[in-house]
Structure 1
């Protein structure tokens, strides 16, 4: 099944609210993440990418942290970005939306002069990120009660 969709950087309040709605559905609704920790101080300065079906229905989202915000998550490397909050609604999984979102976030990182992207992957998603060129490092850790591993890709 093919679902036509487009990607765009969330430039206005409506787009950001759509990104947050996808995250709420996936992380809070499906995975049981506490809503109080799903949204954080990094959201306001992050670049958010939104995937929307041609009829305007949001399908997925992800964000890129860069600069000081990313340094806190990447061990202080000023040339590394931090990809996070990647979420694809159940109805859009398997359609390439996640791959397209990661690609758009990597493009945004390159455009900002970043040379690598770090992320904290839920362990069930390690294979997804490995197929996109990310390499796990460090020990497994809990975040929001879910097992994660740090991963990095050189751009």
Structure 2
């Protein structure tokens, strides 16, 4: 079966994946996960048999695109879905008018994953919830 990245306007799909990964698995509080950016963002999903199994959120402001809330259900990891979401997000940002860089906030353990996709870490480590993060960027 071929899994593809698609844009969706149905927030229940990315929310179901984010709930399972960020809230149930990683312990983020609901108040930290849901915000005012969801309704104004572009949402990506990967489905398996019609059910969403991975998601990400895209937006851009001025010369900066942002890929966020990248997550893959545990039983679908290791299949390239996270990389496919990031590559789709980079292409989306590259095609947006005036965007010169893509930014993301990486969980500390995922920095090597994003480095393999061309991102470079910068700045200090900081906590998002209780999870260490570091900012990363890819310049065009």
User: TM bucket by the smaller chain?
Assistant: over 0.9
2:91 aligns with 107
* 2:130 aligned with 1:132: no
Q: CA deviation at 1:115?
A: 1.6
Match of 1:8 among 6, 9, 12: 6
* 2:17 aligned with 1:22: yes
Q: Distance in 2 between matches of 1:4 and 1:58?
A: 14
- What are the ranges of 5 or more consecutive residues in structure 2 without an aligned counterpart? none
TM-score (norm 2): 0.95
- What are the ranges of 5 or more consecutive residues in structure 1 without an aligned counterpart? 68-77
SS of structure 2 residue aligned to 1:40:
coil
Q: Distance in 2 between matches of 1:35 and 1:103?
A: 27
Q: Distance in 2 between matches of 1:111 and 1:51?
A: 21
Q: Distance in 2 between matches of 1:125 and 1:108?
A: 22
| Root mean square deviation, CA, Å | 1.0
What are the within-5 Å matches in structure 2 for residues 4-153 of structure 1? 4-11=2-9, 13=10, 16-53=11-48, 55-67=49-61, 78-113=62-97, 114-153=99-138
* Equivalent pairs, count: 139
Q: Could you give the per-residue CA deviations for residues 3-62 of structure 1, whole angstroms, max 9, x where no partner exists?
A: 531211013x3xx21100000000001000001110111111111111111x10211000
TM-score (norm 1): 0.86
Q: Distance in 2 between matches of 1:150 and 1:83?
A: 11
Q: CA deviation at 1:107?
A: 1.2
Greater strand share, structure number: 2
The ranges of structure 1 where at least 4 consecutive aligned residues each deviate by more than 6 angstroms after the TM superposition are: none
